[in-house]
Structure 1
């Protein structure tokens, strides 16, 4: 008799459990936690005879952001965000912020080097070269963490991008003398294309012309 009752109880419990809905793990994620746009389809076309931002470089940005998490955590000045049509950045997920920085950094690079990783320009006032996608100097390694550029690798897009992300991270972090969260600082920090009035408006327009397609969640 005890065996019979145990069998009935077991069948009842099994029947109940089989009717329970076990939520799919992916369904519990918020829409904002969508996957990154694959670097292989993150296409940014420049304004100069169709010059292209390499998809591989986008992946380098994704990878570099793993070591510069401040860019994924710190809020951005609202006025700066409005100037590039992404006023809701501060409510975006880290995944979406990662894609934001890929487009923003490619916008900077477009006006620094025209997407030319071998670009070199001698800064006579500083007596040194600005080099690569983001026109960096080998001396930057002495001032920024996760930056290890030297004469042998500064033109390597991976190293150039990693260092540039570190520099931007410091810019956004701010300091006792610099306002945090500024995409376009009021005073010069590193890239003049982000501070000089005639240049920053070009960066802003470049970003705005592409944000709807690549970052629809910004709008």
Structure 2
């Protein structure tokens, strides 16, 4: 009888342990939250539309860190109210610094989805340019010659952290504008760097992608 009791208790404890393990591992990647040790801001992952492809929470952290390391003007410059209305975040310009960082992470995740399908090893030969577009944001090694904080070369361009660091720098220049380009444009009227942000067919996909996720990832938007 004593042996049976001990056996029953052992089986019960094993059953409880397995149950707890199931509860832990059943959480979807989209529910994973981590806190960036540098900024103290909560990171997030994003599930894509292609068989559950994933923007990882650590990539969100890389966006936060790049914004901080570069003292990025993305956190200071105003964004076009028209473009913000397209993605249901018309109040962005009054956001706190923390929410602005979350905004840029979600926006970058939204168009990276259509650049690389969240495949950091994606490479595409641009025959008209005679070079490859590579990584999460389909960058070129020559970008290091034109953009501050772009330090990509053939050895590291597929590294998500380096790729994101350079992409933040390029996006900063896009939003900053110039004498020939309107400032604050998420979706420029003329081509700047990423065609998915200017071509009407792909731009609408980026807009819908952001809108479909903004309530969950950035409830501050309205």
Place the TM-score, normalised by the shorter chain, in its bin: 0.7 to 0.9
1:45 aligns with 2:17: no
TM-score (structure 2 length as normaliser): 0.81
What's the secondary structure of 1:121's corresponding residue? strand
Inter-partner Cα distance in structure 2 for 1:194 and 1:54: 22
How many pairs are equivalent? 183
Matches within 5 A, 1:63-102: 63-66=65-68, 67-102=70-105
TM-score (structure 1 length as normaliser): 0.82
Aligned residue in 2 for 1:12: none
1:37, distance to aligned residue in structure 2 (A):
4.7
Which stretches in structure 1 are left out of the alignment for 5+ residues?
Answer: 1-34
Conserved? CA contact 1:144–1:167, under 8 Å: yes
Aligned residue in 2 for 1:167: 170
Aligned residue in 2 for 1:192: 195
Conserved? CA contact 1:36–1:96, under 8 Å: no
What's the secondary structure of 2:220's corresponding residue? helix
Instruction: Decide which of 119, 124, 131 is 1:121's aligned counterpart.
Output: 124
Superposition RMSD in Å: 1.0
Question: Which stretches of structure 1, 4 residues or longer, exceed 2 Å deviation after superposition?
Answer: none
Inter-partner Cα distance in structure 2 for 1:113 and 1:210: 19
Conserved? CA contact 2:53–2:118, under 8 Å: yes
Conserved? CA contact 1:68–1:165, under 8 Å: no
1:69, distance to aligned residue in structure 2 (A):
2.0
Inter-partner Cα distance in structure 2 for 1:68 and 1:130: 26
What's the secondary structure of 1:111's corresponding residue? helix
Inter-partner Cα distance in structure 1 for 2:138 and 2:217: 25
